[in-house]
Every structure is written in structure tokens, then in C-alpha cells.
Amino acid sequence: MRIGIVGASGAVGAEIIKILEERKFKVSSLSLFGSRRSAGKYLLFNKKRIRVKRLEKKYLKDLDLIFFSAGAEISKKFAHIAASNGAIVIDNSSAFRMNPEVPLIVPEINSKDIKKIRNGIVANPNCTTVISLMAIKPLHSLSRIDRVVATSFQSVSGAGARGMEELISNTKNLLRNGKKFKNMVFEREIAFNVIPKIGDITANLYSEEEMKLHNESRKILSDNKINFTATTVRVPVLRSHSISLNIEFKNKVSIGNAINALKKFPGLKVMGSQNDSYPTPIDATNRDNCIVGRIRSDFTVKNGISLWIVGDQIRKGAALNAVQIAELL
């Protein structure tokens, strides 16, 4: 298969290259595209050096599959061009997720929606949505879920390599000099701090990131009655997101049945059956599986369960999920 990657030198693009190699995806040729700053760099795939080209319309031909990981504006500008040239586009941005003509897929949950491709484009969900749904879907199969209260603790790599650099620089500066570093990526100081806002605030006072969890989850689950309320928080962690989920069901779900359903779900690992064992972001980093723990009944509501889930948002939250979508084609 002739494959292209837009945003190849970014965190997600580089991870896609790595995962294609790990999973022995059938690649007859690989074309890498990036910004003016990235053009001319060489990246390795199967021990071969491949030069990154600056993204231009003329290069989006003679390709079977293109991964877009360069942000919504680039996707809006170039994805339809690539698709009109016969390629299938798997887009990692927010550009097409809520477009009713574009399937939004987590392969473990709604792989059948790959048949709904109409215009050559498939959307990859938001990373927090993917990780959350890996725990929500198997429980939703036990009993209808009415409401989910989510609090996410999102690592700085969710803002790209520059986010990681800012955390490292800020931390070093504070420890060495006791002085604050000028914030370039985040609105507030990120070292030794948390920021309870990711994305712009919308008309209902929820952030864009918080509304993504509500809207995207409903689309993926094909259920417009389930409600999500979220608070998304940026935390001083380099990689992998953590999410606290409080789930209210229509009917009673026992902890035993919940744990069994979670254990059986592909791509998900349960860490311990008791609350003295729990996953942290470090446990999930560079791993394909999401990990769930701290599973307990919520004694404050009639039919509630609380749990904690962690996942590598660059892998399962983005690059791995995109490659898994490609494997469905």
C-alpha cells in the first residue's frame, strides 16, 4: 500500500511511523510531509532514511492511504484534495469528527462504521474521548448508561513537543533560579501547577475539549441520550492522560460484573481487583493498552460506579487508533 503521512515529524506522525513498523503494516512506499520548517529532515522507517517534503497539492497523488496529523486547518485545506485523488484519509484533527458524512471510529467499539465512508475521509476521535470510551463501552453493554461525570488529567504532550519542552524548561528554571519562565504554550505556569481549562470556552461555559467528550462519545456509541459532563485539566506530566469517571446506569451493575466486562474488553487491562492497586500515567506510557483501576460502587447514587483509567494519548489516543482504523480497510 502506498502511504503518506502529513505531519510526519510531529509527535503523532512520528508515532504512526513507529507503529506501522511494529505492526508490520504492508507498506510498498512511504511519503512523508511536513511544514516548511520540517522539510528536508530525514526520518527512519524499516531502517531506510526517508526525506520529509513540504506539503503541497502536487504530492497528494498516487497514494492509497494518507494519515493527517498536522492540525485542523491543514486537514481542511488538503484532506479533500487527497481524497479526490483516490486516497483514503485518516484524519487525526477535529476538522471532520462531527461531520455526519464522516465516520468517527474507535475500532474496538464501532469498527462496522468503516463501511460508512462516503467521501474518502475517516476521523480519529479526540484522545480523551478514545481513552474514556475504552472503559465506558464494555460497561454500557451491561446496562444503559444515563450519565458520565469525567475529570481528565491531561499530559503536556497533548499540546505537542513544544508543550513538553515548556514543562521541562519551566521546571528547570524554577528549581535552579527560583524564577518563573515566560509561558509560550500554556496560558498559565505549568511547572508544579495544574490548569483547569483546555481549549477555548464555548457559549455554555464548557471548554472545547470538554464538549468533544460529550459530542464525540455520543456519535461513536450511536447514542444521543447518554450525557457527559467533563472538566479537562492540564497537569505537569510529560506523557499519558488519566481520567476519573463516575458512571450512572439505568440498572444496577455489580462490581464483579463490571470488572469481568472490563477484563474481557480488547485493548483494556484491569490493574488489580482491589483499590490498593491502581495505574498511573507512567504505567501506560509507550503501551498499547489502556489500564483501568480503582473500580468501586458509588454509594451516593442508586446505580453508580466510579473508576480511574489511564492511556498513552499519543499511541491509543491518536497514532495507534489511526493505524487500527487503517487495518480495517
What positions carry a catalytic annotation? 127, 241
- Locate the DSSP E strands across the chain: 2-6, 29-34, 42-45, 48-54, 65-68, 88-91, 121-123, 145-154, 227-234, 241-249, 268-270, 290-297, 304-311
The residue behind cell 507498506 is 27
Q: Are strands 304-311 and 241-249 parallel, antiparallel or unpaired?
A: antiparallel
Q: Which residues contact 213 (CB under 8 A, 6 or more apart)?
A: 126, 128, 129, 132, 150, 152, 228, 230, 232
Element of type H or E holding 130: helix 127-140
> Grid coordinates in use for 32?
512523508
Question: Are the beta carbons of 31 and 92 closer than 8 angstroms?
Answer: no
Element of type H or E holding 12: helix 11-22
- Residue 16 backbone dihedrals phi, psi, to 5 degrees: -60, -45
Long-range contacts of 206-213 (CB under 8 A, 24+ apart): 206/230, 207/232, 209/126, 209/128, 209/152, 209/154, 212/94, 212/97, 212/126, 212/128, 212/129, 213/126, 213/128, 213/129, 213/132, 213/150, 213/152
